[in-house]
Structure 1
Amino acid sequence: MSPYLTKLAPLAVVLVGSVGLGGCATKGFVRDQIATVNQRIDGLDSRLQQTDATAKQALAEGQAASGQAQQNAQRIDQLNGRVDSVEQQQAAAQRKRARN
């Protein structure tokens, strides 16, 4: 026998053994593994839907708060105008009193 064949013989035995012993997964094993994965996916999907609902609610509340803040800013601007007018009238009244 040639030295080349003696080196290849153990490798061939290992390859044939690994193919023969490896085998395939049974349908039951695969179903069990898929069922476990599906349960995890269902749990994650449920959590994702809850998170999405929470995010949508937070967005709606944020938009409502933004609208309220804009209304409040407009009211403050109106009140500032009124206060400025009252201050001007008061200053004019004080100047009149100072002349008399």
Structure 2
Amino acid sequence: MTDDPQLPLETTLNLETAPIHWRELERFFAAGRAIRVAPELDLVAVGAELAKDNARQISQWMEEGKVDAVPDEKAQAWHERNTEVWALVIRPWVLVQERTES
């Protein structure tokens, strides 16, 4: 993560998001470090709450099924299609979100 104290956390994280093909992230999935973020959530907002260690919000999203480990079935489907996802690293995690058409 970029450490520029002059930039708000969300701005810094936004600069660090990138589209990437799922196959390039499979090693993180295999290590249990890939976290799926539902399309209705803002990837950067989720990353900011994780970086701030906001356990209450993260737990709520997890209970709602909006933030969780990438399910095996989803990982397999993404692999077969070589899906491009949005990714954001919040060490040791990699947040991934399926790209939607604008």
Tell me: higher relative CO, structure 1 or 2? Use CA pairs within 8 A at least 6 residues apart.
2
TM range (shorter): under 0.3
TM-score by length of 1: 0.21
Greater share of residues in helix: 1
